[in-house]
């Protein structure tokens, strides 16, 4: 049974397209180095702490937004969620710019911490991919004023997105001692 509103139907193709294109583009662009293509660009070593901070801000915005809606502050919730989406987009642009201009850093930790780091990194990456359609569907359901369905998926989206935002900061903190520029 398809009980979607016209707004939901309108955005379905975009949700699918963006859910596929964004991770593929990030993977491809992660491997592209602008210097290899003949561009005279300098590394951007200042970006990781900025985009890690943006991840932290996203996490804070998400928590405050959930508290706002629980307290009936709908407009504040909407504003905070738009800001969280904006922060995630800003993070994405900076992340791609950094990896297109700067060589990858290898994690230098040893022993158990290495396994912890890679577990956090891998789950962060996989869940960041999975979070894209969840965020988009959750947002579109709010736009369509399907708040029953919005709440239902938001209960999944919120912890996924929060995990991705928080682990983005943790990954940065764990690898930052190994940056060399």
Q: Structural domain boundaries of the chain?
A: 12-178
How many of the other CB atoms lie within 10 Å of CB of 140?
Answer: 23
Calpha distance 71→28 (Å, rounded): 42
Q: Does residue 2 surpass a pLDDT of 80?
A: no
Whether the model pTM is above 0.85: yes
Percent over 70 (pLDDT), the chain: 98
**pLDDT band, residue 13 (cuts 50/70/90):** very high
Longest dimension (CA), the chain: 56
Q: What are phi and psi of 33, to 5 degrees?
A: -115, 125
Note the pLDDT tens digit of each residue in 32-68. 888 888 888 888 889 999 999 999 999 999 999 999 9
Note the pLDDT tens digit of each residue in 113-143. 999 999 999 999 999 999 999 999 999 999 9
Mean pLDDT score across all residues of the chain: 94
Nearest by Cα to 157 from 127, 121, 181: 127
Q: Does residue 1 surpass a pLDDT of 50?
A: no
Asked: is 12-178 a CATH 1.20.120.80 domain? The reply is yes
């Amino acid at each position: 049974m398809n009980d979607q509103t016209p707004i939901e139907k309108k955005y379905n193709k975009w949700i699918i397209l963006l859910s596929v294109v964004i991770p593929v583009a990030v993977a491809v662009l992660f491997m592209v180095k602008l210097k290899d293509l003949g561009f005279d660009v300098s590394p951007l070593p200042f970006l990781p702490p900025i985009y890690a901070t943006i991840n932290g801000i996203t996490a804070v915005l998400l928590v405050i937004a959930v508290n706002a809606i629980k307290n009936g502050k709908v407009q504040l919730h909407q504003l905070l969620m738009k800001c969280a989406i904006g922060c995630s987009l800003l993070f994405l642009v900076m992340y791609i710019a950094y990896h297109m201009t700067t060589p990858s850093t290898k994690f230098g930790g040893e022993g158990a911490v290495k396994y912890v780091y890679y577990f956090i990194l891998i789950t962060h990456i996989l869940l960041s991919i999975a979070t894209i359609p969840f965020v988009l569907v959750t947002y579109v359901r709010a736009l369509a004023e399907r708040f029953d369905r919005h709440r239902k998926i938001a209960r999944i989206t919120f912890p996924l997105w929060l995990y991705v935002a928080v682990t983005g900061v943790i990954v940065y903190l764990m690898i930052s001692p190994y940056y060399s520029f």
